[in-house]
């Protein structure tokens, strides 16, 4: 059991970690924090939400590790990029996730550069060039979700079905 002063300090730590969106620290101390927030519905709700966000981070890291273990660096990068596209905030606030993403971005730089070039061309209205870059990315990494989505969206733009 913690003394009252320790509990108060730990509760302030939880509130600070929550405010700073430091989900990893909350996760690392979850057993201690669970006891402290159990009688406060609002804090309990925050605690559960924070652990949920950490679960999302860990699932993405786990999927990336799995792909990298299979020598699929491009797929590992795409796992983390997909999360980054959906929730930039998770990257800003989790050093481990951010470091892993940067490492994989370097390792997968050929694919990353092709996809970035395709987006630049697309944003400049150069549809043919963008399509060519996406197709080159698809040739480099057959299973690229981002290349596939880019190709499909450009084809829909150029050849609408309606």
pLDDT digits 0-9 by tens, 17-47: 999 999 999 999 999 999 999 999 999 999 9
Q: What is the pLDDT of residue 1?
A: 47
Pair 24, 96: CB distance under 8 Å:
yes
Q: What is the pLDDT of residue 4?
A: 59
Q: Which stretch of 90-99, 116-125, 145-154 has the lowest confidence by average pLDDT?
A: 90-99
Q: What's the rounded Cα separation, in Å, for the pair 131 and 102? A: 26
Average pLDDT over residues 68-87: 96
């Amino acid at each position: 059991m913690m003394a009252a002063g320790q509990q108060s300090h730990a509760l302030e730590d939880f509130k600070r970690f929550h405010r700073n969106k430091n989900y990893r620290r909350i996760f690392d101390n979850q057993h201690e924090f669970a006891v402290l927030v159990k009688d406060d519905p609002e804090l309990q709700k925050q605690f559960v939400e924070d652990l949920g966000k950490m679960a999302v981070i860990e699932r993405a890291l786990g999927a990336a590790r799995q792909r990298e273990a299979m020598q699929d660096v491009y797929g590992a990068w795409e796992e983390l990029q997909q999360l980054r596209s959906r929730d930039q905030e998770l990257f800003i606030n989790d050093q481990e996730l951010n470091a892993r993403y940067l490492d994989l971005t370097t390792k997968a730089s050929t694919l990353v550069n092709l996809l970035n070039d395709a987006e630049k061309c697309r944003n400049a209205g150069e549809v043919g060039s963008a399509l060519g870059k996406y197709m080159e990315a698809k040739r480099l990494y057959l299973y690229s979700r981002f290349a596939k989505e880019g190709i499909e969206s450009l084809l829909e733009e150029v050849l609408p079905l309606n």
